[in-house]
Amino acid sequence: MAHRKARERDMLDSVYSMLALVFILVACVELCDAATVVDVYRLIQYDISGVPFGSRLASLNHHAGSLHFSPGADLSRTVVMIPVRELNISFVTEYVSRKHPLGGMLFLLPEIFRLENGGGGKDVREKEVVKNVLLELEKLLVHAKLPYPVYFAFENDEIDAVLDDVKKNDATGQPATATTGGYKLVIPIAEPKKVASPTITNIQGWLQGLKADGDANQLPTIAIVASYDTFGAAPALSVGSDSNGSGVVALLEVARLFSLLYSNPKTRGRYNILFGLTSGGPYNYNGTHKWLRSFDQRLRESIDYAICLNSVGSWNNELWIHVSKPPENAYIKQIFEGFTNVAEELGFKVGLKHKKINISNPRVAWEHEQFSRLRVTAATLSELSAAPELLESTGGLHFVDETSFIRSVQLVAESLARHIYGYQGKNIQIFADNSSLAVNPSYIRSWLDLLSQTPRVAPFISKNDPFIMALKKELADHTDEVIMQHEVLDGMFTFYDSTKASLNIYQVASVTFDLLLLLVLGSYLIVLFSFLVITTRGLDDLISLFRRPPSRKVEVSQEKLANDNYECVMV
Amino acid sequence: MTVFHFFNCAILTFGPHAVYYSATPLSEYDTLGTSVKAALVYLGTALVKLVCLATFLKVSETDNFDPYQELLKALIGFIDVAGLYFALTQLTHRNISQNHKFQAVGLGWAFADSVLHRLAPLWVGARGLEFTWDYLLQGLEANANLVLSISLAALGSLMWLRKNKPKTLIPIIYACAGIVATMPSITSYLRRGLGWQFPKVVGFELFTSLVMAFISWQLFSACQRPSA
């Protein structure tokens, strides 16, 4: 008996140590194999001169809720899933402006906006409605400070099913928390860090003009400039097909046409043409500013004028030329006349808008203003009639209309050519359709396609990004000399990383369920135990397990009686 | 509460074995050694089965029910029966009555089966955040398996350990043993051939295990009556 007890004690000890080990191992919960994993894109997080904007958090670990929650519910530990198709912008406005505590927001974009599907074409009307909602939403979110994570995702079947389930649960009036089950959205990502020294890269291409023998003076230069980077609510989705993808493609097409002309010395003009693809556009044209500052004084003085292209892809029948010098200025008049003549021939109007520069105001509304501040004549060609505010119209989700875009390219090319070759006022079409110098629609289409699938927010593009290399190579094909300039973005803007993440959606059971299950299992085991004891040993034994022995004598006699009973059964 | 869920599923899968051991007279007669030996025999049987399956079976890409493959699997399943025979007859046990011997062997057999087949999926899967009913159903399956193992052991002990049996009952005993031994093939046929869902299959298993247990209990007590 004692021997047995000692053995039992040893066994118990080893069992306890085993249990302790098991508990330690079991305590690490694995976050693998979720039901659904979705790619999500974070709202941009940035500071302007220390003032924070955008979504300030990245990691997410809360329950999912939908817009059908009961009013007054506490949403501080819920992520609200909002399909943009059914968005009521006033809800978001209210939540943002009143600074209600929220666990997070997940916006679901319709499938058609997915980058691989390209831009424009299919279901244009459906896109229009959602586009407008998106633009408003973008404007709201970019200028607000949100102390919770905000993400964008594309709709697919799985996430739609999850949303339907969540809506059903919410309709019953129970908010999803740890005790009521539902879905849990988890994004395991580190805290966002500042992007150290965001670089902006300017690419310039130089087409040399024809220098007459014995001409010692430097040839005059005409500059064509477009900024290629974007800024939007979701940096991983900011493709900006129209602003300013259209400007970039127009510049490349004009470069291609002029390189054809300039390749033959007989048709080479007496002007140098400078092509500039600048970065830092949304940030007061910081890149253009640094690019111009890097110029030699002589070079700057030799620039006759500069044309900046900004959103020329989706207009109806009027383009605008924005200037900062007064319209009475001779140079401005000349440029404007040249453009108007060509526009008339092509069948549309060009208007002139004058906006004075305020030197003390750091805000630079148009790219040409950077030129004007350094006393270079410049104008911006754009479909926008008014200057956009800071960080607006800078790469949202407009789509490009091919016919109007081709007309813009023709306008720019013809006007420039007439000025270069001295054919102002004469009705000669240099880049006529169906000629070898016609605007090439497939070239334009392929580049627009590329641009509408490449997000290009400057702080998140490295110096050697493949897109920048592609632009450099393309410009090098068309021009004589290509120079890249790498600069650091102005310190006024600070950006934070973590723009893309993976969302895990888990279907979780509530704590109440687990407790209930424990209760059920406990009672099942107890019932099983009692059943087995009763059937194999008899009811008396079961009762004897619970009853304390009344006295030793009675216990001994009871045992003896039980043992006798047993022996009878055994035989 | 995922560790909680793992704990729940674990007590559902392994609890009944412990309860069975402690509730019946097995614990009084210290038959743990027998159970451990039976578990080791099961391990050996499982290895032999694995080798045979790897040698003789083709890997099918689809999940359809192939009768020849299933027949082969059933035949290999009889190695199980051979293992049980070995555990019941060849191992030297202490002086335990036949009554308790088959129970201990069946218990050890079922416990080894649960640990080998169900512990790893439980460990890996039930601790995740995602909730599925699979692990609870697996636990119920383990319970059914316990009952089936004990009834198979009972029938086995009747077949091989008891010498004087009433003549009429012998074919019934063998028939029942045959049914219980081929249970795995039957369930896989249901799952693949008829396309039953997991909960339905588990329900069927529970039902048949209770029926088989009842029948083998009746047979056992019927065989015991002449000698009593």
pLDDT of residue A554: 54
Chosen from B8, B17, B129, B220 to mutate, greatest number of chain A CBs within 10 A: B129
**Cβ neighbours of A27 in B, within 8 Å:** 3
Nearest 5°: the CA angle A357, A359, A362 is 100
Sheet of A45-48: strands edge to edge? A145-146, A51-55, A45-48, A493-495
Count: domains in chain B: 1
Encoded amino acid at B134, one letter: D
Residue A30 contacts B where some CB pair is shorter than 8 Å: yes
**pTM (two decimals):** 0.74
Alpha-carbon distance B131 to nearest alpha carbon in chain A (angstroms): 5
Q: What is the mean pLDDT of each run of 10 residues along chain A (571 residues)?
A: 72 76 58 73 87 87 80 77 83 80 86 60 63 81 87 88 82 62 84 87 89 74 90 78 82 90 87 90 88 88 89 83 88 87 86 87 87 89 82 61 84 86 73 79 88 84 89 90 88 86 85 88 90 78 68 56 61 50
pLDDT of residue A224: 92
Q: Which residue is listed with tokens 């400039």?
A: A225
pLDDT of residue A561: 64
From B19, B127, B130, residue closest to A525, measured CB to CB: B19
A419, A454 in Cβ contact below 8 A? Answer: no
Question: H/E element holding B223?
Answer: helix B198-227
CA nearest neighbour of A458 among A216, A248, A274, A235? A235
pLDDT of residue A393: 60
Which residue has better confidence, B29 or B227?
A: B29
* A50: alpha, beta or left? (left if phi > 0; alpha if psi -120 to 50): left
From A514, A524, A528, residue closest to B1, measured CB to CB: A514
CB contact under 8 A, A517 and B11: no
Q: What gap in Å lies between CA A525 and CA A220, rounded to an integer?
A: 95
Highest-scoring range by mean pLDDT, A14-23, A287-296, B57-66, B72-81: A287-296
Give the percent of chain B with pLDDT over 70.
90
**Cβ neighbours of A536 in B, within 8 Å:** 23-25
Written as one string, the DSSP assignment of A127-143 is HHHHHHHHHHHHHHHHT
Coil, helix or strand for A51? strand
A533, A542 in Cβ contact below 8 A? Answer: yes
* pLDDT exceeds 70 at position B195: yes
Give strand pairing partners of A379. A307, A323
**Cβ neighbours of A512 in B, within 8 Å:** none
CA-nearest residue to B8 within chain A is: A518
Written as one string, the DSSP assignment of A413-444 is HHHHHHHHHT-TTS---TT-TTSTTS--HHHH
Which residue has better confidence, B8 or B221?
A: B8
The B-side interface with A (CB below 8 A) comprises: 1-8, 11-12, 15-16, 19-20, 22-25, 97, 124-125, 127-131, 136
CB contact under 8 A, B125 and A33: yes
Coarse DSSP helix, strand, coil percentages of chain A, rounded to the nearest 5 percent: 40, 20, 35
CA-nearest residue to B127 within chain A is: A29
Q: What gap in Å lies between CA A121 and CA A452, rounded to an integer?
A: 13
Distances (CA, A) of A565 to A533, A559, B29: 15, 10, 16
CA nearest neighbour of A323 among A293, A287, A353? A353
Sheet of A272-278: strands edge to edge? A349-354, A318-323, A378-382, A303-310, A221-227, A272-278, A199-207, A481-488
Structural domain for B161, as ranges = 3-227
CA nearest neighbour of A209 among A160, A273, A264, A255? A273
Encoded amino acid at A209, one letter: G
* pLDDT exceeds 70 at position B151: yes
Confidence of residue B228 (pLDDT cuts 50, 70, 90): very low
Structure-token pair, residue B55? 């040698």
CA-nearest residue to B122 within chain A is: A26
**Cβ neighbours of B14 in A, within 8 Å:** none
CB contact under 8 A, A511 and B1: yes
CB contact under 8 A, A506 and B129: yes
Buried/exposed A129-160: b ≥16 CB within 10 Å, e otherwise: ebbebbbebbbebbebebebbbbbbbbeeebe
CB pairs under 8 A between A and B: 82
B72, B184 in Cβ contact below 8 A? Answer: no
Q: Which residue is listed with tokens 């006699």?
A: A557
Alpha-carbon distance A76 to nearest alpha carbon in chain B (angstroms): 20
Coil, helix or strand for A408? helix
Q: What gap in Å lies between CA A442 and CA A431, rounded to an integer?
A: 16
Residue A532 contacts B where some CB pair is shorter than 8 Å: yes
Of A524-533, B86-95, B200-209, least confident by mean pLDDT is B86-95
pLDDT of residue A119: 46
Which residue has better confidence, B215 or A15?
A: B215
Spatial CB neighbours of B26, under 8 Å, sequence gap ≥ 6:
B20, B35, B100, B103, B104, B107
